[in-house]
Amino acid sequence: MGEIGKTTLASAIYAHISFQFEGCSFIENVREVSEKGGLKTLHKQLISEILMEKDLKVGNIGSALSTIRNRVCCKKVHFVLDDVDESTELEKLVAELDWFSFGSRIIKTTRNQHTLIRYGITHIYKVEELGEDEAIELFKSNAFRKHQQIGGYGELVHCAVKYAKGVALALKVLGSFLCVRNKDEL
């Protein structure tokens, strides 16, 4: 399902735990980047971010995988591959998942669960829409400053939550829109 907040959730997890790892990378829009720039672009970003080396030269797929196997495999890494689909050749991007050191975390987001199953991924977390109480809290946290009262905005809050249908990204955007306006502008 699109626009439910998979990238937002993966980004929050990445920001929260990345300090625990020797190397990290967050690659957004894997499908799109792969279609436009090919796997070489993805390899370059992944390897250079994890090894913290700028201007890293990445040759063909074989040399990129060799670099991953020989230089990255001994590191405890965390990376996110966002928006992976069937056309993304994961085995050519990261090869074998057991190449990475114990404790490594690899998060892949996709709209199609079968993409994950195809690559033998067994730990699948399906992002659900937020419940009404959670949605209200998320909206309010983006719409109102810490000590600002929501008096007079109750109906607007409930309308926004109903409109967003539990989609975290929509709640954040709507809340942020409200945050910079006063009641007369709405």
**Segment 149-161, tens digit of pLDDT:** 666 677 888 888 8
Range of the domain at 89: 6-118
pLDDT at 1 over 90: no
Q: How far apart are CA 54 and CA 109, in angstroms?
A: 26
pLDDT category of residue 87 using cuts at 50, 70 and 90: low
CA distance 125 to 110: 11
pLDDT in tens, 15-56: 999 999 988 989 898 888 888 878 888 888 887 888 888 877
Residue 148 and residue 114 share a domain: no
CA–CA distance, 30 with 18 (Å, rounded to integer): 19
Determine the straight-line distance between the first and last CA of the chain, rounded to whole angstroms.
Answer: 31
pLDDT at 186 over 60: no
96-113, pLDDT tens digit by residue?
A: 666 777 888 888 888 888
160 plus 72 within the same structural domain: no
In this structure, the answer to whether residues 95 and 137 fall within a common structural domain is no
* The residue to which tokens 């670099």 are assigned: 67
Indicate the pTM of the whole model: 0.69
Query: Sheet harboring 105-108: ordered strands across?
Result: 23-27, 77-81, 105-108
pLDDT in the model for residue 148: 58
Question: 109 and 157 in one domain?
Answer: no
Residues 153 and 165: their CA atoms lie apart, in Å, by: 18
- Asked whether residue 160 falls in the same domain as residue 68, the answer is no
Q: Given 3-state DSSP classes, what are the helix, strand and coil percentages for the chain, each rounded to the nearest 5?
A: 55, 10, 40
Q: Can you read off the two tokens belonging to residue 122?
A: 């067994």
Residue the block writes with tokens 């926004």 = 160
Q: Write down the mean pLDDT value for the chain.
A: 79
What token pair was written down for 149?
């009262």
In a domain, 127, yes or no: no
Cβ(135)–Cβ(167) below 8 Å:
no
Total of domains in the chain: 2
Residue 66: inside a domain: yes
Q: Is residue 88 part of a domain?
A: yes
Residue 48 located in a structural domain? yes
Of 62, 91, 118, the residue that ends a domain is 118
Residue 157 sits at φ, ψ, to 5 deg, of -60, -50
Say yes or no: 47 and 110 in one domain. yes
**Would you say residue 176 lies in a domain?**
yes
- In this structure, the answer to whether residues 166 and 100 fall within a common structural domain is no
Which residues, in sequence order, are CB contacts of 122 under 8 Å at separation 6+? none
Shared domain for 106 and 19, answered yes or no, is: yes
Residue 25, C-beta contacts closer than 8 angstroms, at least 6 positions apart: 45, 46, 49, 50, 77, 79, 80
Is a pLDDT exceeding 70 seen at residue 10?
yes
